[in-house]
Amino acid sequence: MKYRSAFDIIGPVMIGPSSSHTAGAARIGRVARTLFGYQPLKAVIHLYGSFAETYKGHGTDVAIVGGLLDFDTFDERIPTSLQLAKEANMEVEFIVERTVTDHPNTVRIKLYDEQKELEVVGISIGGGTIEITELNSFQLKLSGENPAILVVHNDQFGVVSAVTTVMAQNEINISHMEVSRKEKGKMAMMVIEVDQKISAEVLKEIESLPNVTQIIQMVE
């Protein structure tokens, strides 16, 4: 594993005993909330591997829910997040899974309200570092560390080029990008991580492009 800074080794400032099981879990929960757009009414949390075995002892449960409440890793409210979720009328359900996954610290979070639902799969790599590997059955790779946009679009010729052209014209540097699709010619998704926050004007320009159907913005 490659470390980018001393903080990847030392770990993040956090509440809880484990950078993987607590800080990483909180970050996954917070990214899931950001992707959803606001606090959901219900969260069903599927835990796998090491998360499933030690989630109560290592505070993974309160950390994920704290993230869903938009708490950062060092927020002192994390230990009481289950009670706070109840007070905020957010229903939470934990399901321990015995299925073997590619990574031992894996969680699948399903978020709901009356109008929409979202499904996110995340892994906690270590030192508080995470990776979102799936969003609504789209395979992707999202760290949650940098500003990013997820562009949902029809799988048609020229869409990727059109989006990156808008980025270039506005002098936005792309640090990471990938494209995935469920089926040829159907729905596809671009994951674009950048070096700076993208303005509302640029987002509107991208959203107005032919075959672009939705943009989800992630801000660090």
- Average pLDDT of the segment spanning 130-153: 88
Q: How far is CA 218 from CA 34, 53, 55, 144, in A?
A: 7, 31, 27, 7
Is residue 138 predicted with pLDDT exceeding 50? yes
For the segment 53-94, what is each residue's pLDDT rounded down to a tens digit? 887 877 899 999 999 999 998 899 999 999 999 999 999 999
DSSP calls for 21-56: IIIHHHHHHHHHHHHHSS--SEEEEEEEHHHHHHTT
Contact call for residues 135 and 69 (beta carbons, < 8 A): no
Mean pLDDT taken over the chain: 87
Q: What pLDDT does residue 27 have?
A: 92
- Average pLDDT of the segment spanning 9-35: 72
List domains and CATH numbers for the chain.
6-136 (3.30.1330.90), 148-218 (3.30.70.260)
